[in-house]
Structure 1
Amino acid sequence: MGGQNSALLAESYCDWWSLAGVDALVGEQPAGWLAMSPANDAAASRPRRTATAAAEPQPLPDALQRQSSERPVESRGPTALPADWKDFHQWLGSSEAVPGSQWDARRVLPVGEAAAPLMLLTAWPEIDDQREGQLFAGPAGKLLDAMLQAIGLVRRQCYVASLAVTRPPGGRIDAHDAAELDRLLWHHLRLAMPQRLLLIGGDIVRIAAGLTLSDARGKLLDLNQDGGKMETVAVAHPAMLLARPAQKAAAWDSLKLFNRGR
């Protein structure tokens, strides 16, 4: 390039920069190209406001506000137990306050009359009992009938009951339920007034006699009921005897104690 055109082009560049406000190629003071102007610093120090900032939530209406309880929650006392035999049985069948009724909607209720020659008592219904709606159902019931026949009784002569009217999950209870069922046990025995008592299964033996089944086998247990002694014998549950036939001999050793002295 050169000549007159080059001169005209250079003059055009200078005019453009002059119009842009640049009047010198090099300034007298050094310039920091990355330094922010004071105006920009002030703007940066102010908190930014976004257009999408959420509005403050409005308070709930009074009707929806959480109300503080002015009165402390009263603790529930022990369950009231009906003192009349008929009322007691109606209560077992319908009341939500019955200890041990909370585990299943289907209740398995006692069968028989007070002052029976023998009361058969287990802790709670077995799975088959819960399904059939009666205690000692199925093959276990047939074995029990044979055991009773061996001591000269039939089931209809006995008062048949479980301590709890439903079966707890896994056949286990906590300390609170155990305390409530213990109260129910002695009240039930007081109303039933059986001549003799047959505890069936390790759970009821532990609750009523405070013994393991192995320690109670072959022994005549005298339970203290309102100052009187009640002849009591403990045997394994017939369902257990069906699963472990070798234990039938121990059950017979206990049952025949009822015939002692006759």
Structure 2
Amino acid sequence: MSLNSTLAVKTASAVTKWWEMAGLGYLVEDEPVNWLEAEKPKEAPIAPPKTQTHARPNISDIPKTAPAAPVDPASWPQSVEQLLADIENGAPLPGNQFGGNRAKPVGAANCELMIISDLPDFDEIEAGFLGAGESGKLLANVTAAIGQGINRCFLTALASTRPASGDLPEEEIPQLTAFMMHQIGLVKPKTLLILGSAACSALLGAELMSARGSLLFVKHNGQKVSAVTTFHPRTLMARPVLKAQAWRDLQMLLINKDLM
């Protein structure tokens, strides 16, 4: 079998797996498919660095913090390796001081696809890194369906800690956005996949529902990085019916193969 044929088979298999996880059966069966009980992907979403076990906190248990003082961008990390170390070590970076444990980004510089969300889920906070838990399983299938293994992507979020409210404070958005632009400069991806309304608004200045389905661009240092936006995995888990729409969003990446 030729290399192209092998890749085609793998891609078709990944797309089929995505639809199985999406619960496609709800269109033709009496009862929806419980896609969360589907077979575990053969490729683990992300190999955990050093797993720490933490009890899942209640919202009231997460310390409330005052808005962070602006951090001098000159002190921000100048490499991906330093970025990961600074976040893990609790450096005073935007989004790293909301309280509780941290979920650091995962990936390396020069990844073709950089995936950006708003903030970590509880599973990710417990694990200490992004891409863990049920959202991570779904995200692994999302990236596989578009021919990008999760381990070949850079996964990050506007905040590495989780505010007590579960939402990003409005007054922090400008600094969080500036720091994410700094991260984009460090990673130098070809394409961005932006997950959820908060990240979409911060980076594209647009509402998620109006930005979906179009190839957009994030301007950084005089250059434009192509971007596609869709629902966050946590939204897709809560509302499986949206997965058909999410797949149409992801096709923007499949159609524009030169972006990958």
TM-score of the superposed pair, with normalisation by structure 2: 0.67
User: Could you list the per-position Cα deviations for residues 2-26 of structure 1 after superposition, in whole angstroms to 9, with x for gaps in the alignment?
Assistant: xxxxxxxxxxxxxxxxxxxxxxxxx
How far residue 204 of structure 1 moved from its aligned partner, in angstroms, is 0.6
Find the residue that maps to 1:250 and give its secondary structure: helix
Aligned counterpart in structure 2 of residue 85 of structure 1, from 63, 80, 92 = 80
Q: Which residue of 1 aligns with 2:165?
A: 170
Q: 1:220, 1:254 within 8 Å by CA — same for their partners in 2?
A: no
- In the alignment, residue 241 of structure 2 is paired with which amino acid? A
Q: Which residue of 1 aligns with 2:227?
A: 232
How far residue 95 of structure 1 moved from its aligned partner, in angstroms, is 4.1
Q: 1:240 to 1:261 in 2, by over 3 A?
A: closer
Find the residue that maps to 2:225 and give its secondary structure: strand
1:118 partnered with 2:108: no
1:156 partnered with 2:151: yes
Q: 1:217, 1:253 within 8 Å by CA — same for their partners in 2?
A: no
Q: Which residue of 2 aligns with 1:109?
A: 104
- Measured in 1, the distance between the counterparts of 2:172 and 2:182 equals 16
Look at both structures and tell me which one has the larger radius of gyration over its CA atoms: 1
Find the residue that maps to 1:222 and give its secondary structure: strand
How far residue 210 of structure 1 moved from its aligned partner, in angstroms, is 1.0
1:202 partnered with 2:197: yes
1:144 partnered with 2:111: no
Q: Which residue of 1 aligns with 2:175?
A: 180
Q: 1:205, 1:211 within 8 Å by CA — same for their partners in 2?
A: yes
- Measured in 2, the distance between the counterparts of 1:202 and 1:178 equals 13
Find the residue that maps to 1:159 and give its secondary structure: strand
How far residue 239 of structure 1 moved from its aligned partner, in angstroms, is 1.5
Q: 1:227 to 1:167 in 2, by over 3 A?
A: same
Q: 1:146 to 1:98 in 2, by over 3 A?
A: same
Q: Which residue of 2 aligns with 1:99?
A: 94
Q: Give runs of aligned pairs for residues 60-79 of structure 1, distance below 5 A.
A: 78-79=71-72
Q: Which residue of 1 aligns with 2:241?
A: 246
- Measured in 1, the distance between the counterparts of 2:254 and 2:108 equals 22
TM-score of the superposed pair, with normalisation by structure 1: 0.66
Q: Which residue of 2 aligns with 1:22?
A: none
Q: 1:217, 1:250 within 8 Å by CA — same for their partners in 2?
A: no
- Measured in 2, the distance between the counterparts of 1:138 and 1:238 equals 11
Q: Which residue of 2 aligns with 1:67?
A: none
- Measured in 1, the distance between the counterparts of 2:140 and 2:134 equals 10
Q: Which residue of 1 aligns with 2:214?
A: 219
- Measured in 1, the distance between the counterparts of 2:111 and 2:189 equals 5
| Large movers: runs of 4+ above 4 Å | none
How far residue 197 of structure 1 moved from its aligned partner, in angstroms, is 0.7
Q: 1:122, 1:163 within 8 Å by CA — same for their partners in 2?
A: yes
What is the aligned-residue identity percentage? Answer: 32
Count of aligned pairs: 187
RMSD of equivalent CA atoms: 1.7
Q: 1:77 to 1:202 in 2, by over 3 A?
A: closer
Q: 1:100, 1:168 within 8 Å by CA — same for their partners in 2?
A: no
Q: 1:141 to 1:163 in 2, by over 3 A?
A: same
- Measured in 2, the distance between the counterparts of 1:173 and 1:187 equals 19
User: Could you list the per-position Cα deviations for residues 120-143 of structure 1 after superposition, in whole angstroms to 9, with x for gaps in the alignment?
Assistant: 111110122212323232222222
